[in-house]
Structure 1
Amino acid sequence: MLFVKILIILLATKIAGELSIKLGQPAVLGKLVIGIVIGPAVFGWIEDSEMIEQISEIGVILLMFIAGLETDIKSLNQNRNSSFAVAVGGIIFPLLGGYFAGLGFGLSHSHAFFLGLLLSATSVSISAQTLKELGQLKSRESTTILGAAVLDDILVVVALAVMMSLLTTGDVSLGMVFLKKLIFFVSVGLVGWKVVPWMMRKFSSWRVSESIVSTALVICFFFSYLAESLGVAAIIGAFAAGIAISQTPFKQSVEQKIEPIAYAFFVPVFFVSIGLSVSFDGVGSQLWFIIVLTIIATITKLFGAGLGARITGFNNRSSLGIGAGMVSRGEVALIIAAIGLESQLLKQEYFTAIVTVVILTTLITPPLLKRIFSDKQNLSERSHT
């Protein structure tokens, strides 16, 4: 039956993506929506399974690996202050918004604080794909968004560790949390600087078929594994691997051969898998909770991250675009929600509603980016005529 599921996913995502483009939206929006349509929430043709989840994980890793390949490291370094400001603003405002919203819905202080922390998470895999479709992945705004996402992941995970050490009975060592993050970034820095170029040169001379792209994938999955082992999201490791390989002469060759592998099979499964977790059971009783939280989640990221961009030199429209790029919570928020459920910082009755909010922020992001960056491009073209 797996073959039938894959057949339906591939066909449905291509049709939905094409329809989305015809309606003036990014293809990724149609691919996300079709996951809900063919999943348990509507038709039930595809159900989530361990195999779908594993293929999906490979898909998002390859997506962020490609984003890393196309990122200009000089631009990333030049925009480090903006990325930091965007990350901090994009955490503080959702944290406060989620906390006070939680209190308003009758949650305890600890549960309300966890809700705020959950809303502080950012996953830019969807934003990266949308920006790529819009031809903006190499722009200064995009580079700032990607840099901010890396910092956001670190800050939120550290804050989560602090919270769990204070509010749960689990033994969470803050020193160990910081040490693991330090080990990861030092390791990928050294390996990316010295080992990756050597590996790419060494294996490129081998006569076995596709040695270059295979070596690139080995590096990508090793960095992802290292990241996950040390408490950093696997997609950050994949992004770092892409950046490392982008500094070698093999960047173009790897990019040209990785994209067909990713977009023909793995990435469509990732897009659909997001919709498979949607369920409308019990949603009616928590409709206001979902609506209010979705509004807060969207506005606080737009304003908080956008403010960080504005005070570091971006104009209003670019700041709004950067804020929009940080709106999607994606798989990072889902992981935090699962941790909260396990540690009893998130009640079971709110889990489905939280998943729905995460999905909605993910669906909101592509049209927001399309509107802002299309208008920005049109204004730029007019100013040159």
Structure 2
Amino acid sequence: MDFIFELMLIVLCTKLAGDLSVRLGQPAVLGKLIAGIVLGPAVLGWVGQGAFIDEVAEIGVLLLMFIAGLETDLDQMRRSWQSAFAVAVAGIILPFVGGYGTGIAFGLSGNFSLFLGVVLSATSVSISVQVLKDMNKLNSREGTTILGAAVLDDILVVILLAFMMSMLGAGAEVSIGALLGKKALFFAVTIAGGWLVVPRVMKWLAPLKVTEAVVSAALVVCFAFAYFAESLQMAGIIGAFAAGIAIGQTGFKATVEEKIEPIAYSLFVPVFFVSIGLNVSFAGLGEHWLLTLAVTAVACATKLAGGWLGARATGFDSRSSLIVGAGMVSRGEVALIIASTGLQAGLLIPEYFTPIVIAVIFTTLATPPLLKLFIKDEPRRQPNA
């Protein structure tokens, strides 16, 4: 029964922490992330990592990105594709070089330094999505650029990781051509499915004489797209985001959005926010505190600069470019997955795993206040705290 107690704590503490964060002038999501650190092994130890929490958190982040897809202005995203591409490329090159340089500066091996560059190149915009939603910026030019850049970043970083593993002889030989083929297949099937199949599936399942048939059909589509993405070595959140866009083009958008948010924000999304904080552990940190600080600083600065450069080069003004850069800073679960992959493949020395994980968490914690700093005050939606 421990998991029931943990769920009670998570829901209660994230709501209270989110409310306190808003009262202090910060986005609600910052309080929720800190609640995870306090509840987790780093402080109180009341909530522990485990398969149950991980799986509920996975559903939470999928639903969060699915809702982002529902609310995305597809026309605005099409207009922003050049900016998204520039932001993704610059946001990979600068962190990769910065991560490699940091590793070399601390006397680490060339292989480890290269892998550190790959970890810092990753981006997870799930936290940024929540802040942008709360501040009415998700459908702005900056918001759609961040979302588009995140999709491209996922593709490029996975290919970069595969190239590094192949070049450094870690694990089985990886075919870059096969990877590219899988990415192309994903987009081809997703676009065709979203255009031709999803509307028919929704029309077929919606009239069923069962409770909440429409939202159930939407969840089937969301999870199917996420599973398909994972099977082709894409992040599941990209599949969920694509599913949201597809359903957003149908006549069921308003109904699904109204019904799905209470499901997501009452339980699953709070668990996702807390799960990020559960990764923080200060055990053995004292020995590598300087490396942790350096990696964190380089991670934040290079992503922010890369996003800023890509946005400025494609017509954004300076403030808007800073918003884009700040939205790309969080590494979140994507970088954690890459770090774990490197640990298993022997590319990451075990004693440096904790400093990297903590640096990744710090980039995630830094993202909400950075976005808050750069986004001008304007009428906001009620935060989903």
User: TM-score, normalization: structure 2?
Assistant: 0.97
- Which residue is equivalent to 1:381? none
- Which residue is equivalent to 1:163? 164
| Correspondences of 1:306-321 after superposition (within 5 Å) | 306-321=308-323
1: CA distance, partners of 2:374 / 2:87: 17
- Which residue is equivalent to 2:128? 127
SS in 1 for 2:376: helix
Asked whether the 8 Å contact 1:150–1:236 carries over to 2, the reply is yes
SS in 1 for 2:210: coil
1:186-232 alpha-carbon deviations (Å, 9 max, x no partner):
11111101000111122222222211100000000000000001000
| Correspondences of 1:130-209 after superposition (within 5 Å) | 130-169=131-170, 170-209=172-211
Asked whether the 8 Å contact 1:90–1:304 carries over to 2, the reply is yes
2: CA distance, partners of 1:193 / 1:335: 31
SS in 2 for 1:208: coil
Asked whether the 8 Å contact 1:56–1:266 carries over to 2, the reply is yes
- Which residue is equivalent to 2:268? 266
- Which residue is equivalent to 2:215? 213
1:229 aligns with 2:231: yes
1:47 aligns with 2:48: yes
Letter in 1 for 2:326: A
1: CA distance, partners of 2:73 / 2:4: 39
2: CA distance, partners of 1:142 / 1:233: 19
C-alpha displacement of 1:2: 1.0
C-alpha displacement of 1:374: 2.7
Gaps of 5+ in 2: 380-385
Letter in 1 for 2:222: C
- Note the aligned Cα RMSD (angstroms): 0.9
1: CA distance, partners of 2:289 / 2:165: 29
C-alpha displacement of 1:321: 0.4
Asked whether the 8 Å contact 1:86–1:305 carries over to 2, the reply is yes
1: CA distance, partners of 2:35 / 2:84: 33
Report the more deviating stretch, 323-332 or 205-214: 205-214
- Which residue is equivalent to 2:38? 37
1: CA distance, partners of 2:97 / 2:234: 24
1: CA distance, partners of 2:110 / 2:287: 23
1:15 aligns with 2:10: no
C-alpha displacement of 1:338: 0.5
C-alpha displacement of 1:243: 0.4
Letter in 2 for 1:97: G
Gaps of 5+ in 1: 379-385
SS in 1 for 2:87: helix
SS in 2 for 1:151: helix
1:366 aligns with 2:371: no
1: CA distance, partners of 2:204 / 2:263: 23
Asked whether the 8 Å contact 1:32–1:363 carries over to 2, the reply is yes
User: TM-score, normalization: structure 1?
Assistant: 0.97
2: CA distance, partners of 1:282 / 1:122: 26
2: CA distance, partners of 1:107 / 1:286: 12
Letter in 2 for 1:10: V
SS in 2 for 1:374: coil
- Which residue is equivalent to 2:91? 90
SS in 2 for 1:243: helix
1:283 aligns with 2:278: no
- Which residue is equivalent to 2:79? 78
Asked whether the 8 Å contact 1:122–1:153 carries over to 2, the reply is yes
Asked whether the 8 Å contact 1:86–1:306 carries over to 2, the reply is yes
2: CA distance, partners of 1:265 / 1:162: 38
Letter in 2 for 1:149: A
Asked whether the 8 Å contact 1:227–1:234 carries over to 2, the reply is yes
C-alpha displacement of 1:174: 1.4
2: CA distance, partners of 1:363 / 1:129: 13
- Which residue is equivalent to 1:255? 257
Asked whether the 8 Å contact 1:213–1:258 carries over to 2, the reply is yes
C-alpha displacement of 1:111: 1.2
Identity of aligned residues (%): 59
SS in 1 for 2:271: helix
Letter in 2 for 1:184: F
1:86-106 alpha-carbon deviations (Å, 9 max, x no partner):
000100000000011110111
Aligned length: 377
C-alpha displacement of 1:289: 0.4
1:27 aligns with 2:28: yes
C-alpha displacement of 1:81: 0.3
Asked whether the 8 Å contact 1:181–1:230 carries over to 2, the reply is yes
Asked whether the 8 Å contact 1:17–1:27 carries over to 2, the reply is yes
Asked whether the 8 Å contact 1:278–1:356 carries over to 2, the reply is yes
1:237-283 alpha-carbon deviations (Å, 9 max, x no partner):
00000000010011111000000000000000000011111101111
- Which residue is equivalent to 2:382? none
1: CA distance, partners of 2:329 / 2:369: 12
1: CA distance, partners of 2:217 / 2:368: 32
Asked whether the 8 Å contact 1:168–1:343 carries over to 2, the reply is no
1:309-361 alpha-carbon deviations (Å, 9 max, x no partner):
00100000000000000000000000000111011111101000000000000
